[in-house]
Homo-oligomer: A and B are copies of this chain.
């Protein structure tokens, strides 16, 4: 039996492990989960005992294959529920994450299988993140951060790095959604802001925005 708390730690280790180092530090998990390092040490020991993680003192944690399977399964549920909320219940993309954080822990094989079918096997969630298939396979498209695009590049928005409500509302306000086409007109060396051309209008976005928006070039 795996508890909700254990699931959240596993998810955190998975996400942090993706973005850089394999051995995820105690402090990194603590910050992510909003708990104290001492609590993380305890939990990471438990996950190790249960076979979900490898852990040696002072060396951080990594997920075992078993742990990874759990992580991917939770992420699959999370993203399918997000699709459901947007497609079927008319939520907007900035309102879904918190609800999906709860729904991802519902335990029923059949539920998620049927939900997947009901949504007609979506491949990406409303934030552009790929949905792992039943076997845990994740096929990610090649996307780059808008901040990495070159002047003259014609891009399509395909995802967000940060899916906080504040950031998503900013994009809504400025008519940027997934699928929106844009051209990089100028990159200001001084502050790394980017001038983009969206629906025939020029528009300047800060480096922070450009650093959180994924695009596909070409």
A-to-B contact residues, CB < 8 Å? 85, 88-91, 95, 98-99, 102-103, 106-108, 110-111, 114-115, 118
Contact = CB atoms under 8 A, between A and B. Distances in A.
Nearest to A103: B106
B114 A108 contact: no
B114 A99 contact: no
Given A89-B115, A115-B89, A102 B107 contact: yes
Contacts of A98: 108
Contact of A88 (B95, B108, B118): B118
B89 A114 contact: yes
19 contacts: A85-B111, A88-B118, A89-B111, A89-B114, A89-B115, A89-B118, A90-B114, A91-B110, A91-B114, A95-B110, A98-B108, A99-B106, A99-B108, A99-B111, A102-B106, A102-B107, A102-B108, A103-B106, A106-B106
A89 B110 CA distance: 9
Contacts of A91: 110, 114
Contacts of A90: 114
A107 B105 CA distance: 13
A126 to B, nearest CB: 15
A54 to B, nearest CB: 31
A165 to B, nearest CB: 13
A95 B110 CA distance: 10
Contacts of A118: 88-89
A95 B106 CA distance: 15
Given A89-B114, A89-B118, 13 more contacts: A85-B111, A88-B118, A89-B111, A90-B114, A91-B110, A91-B114, A98-B108, A99-B106, A99-B108, A102-B107, A102-B108, A103-B106, A106-B106
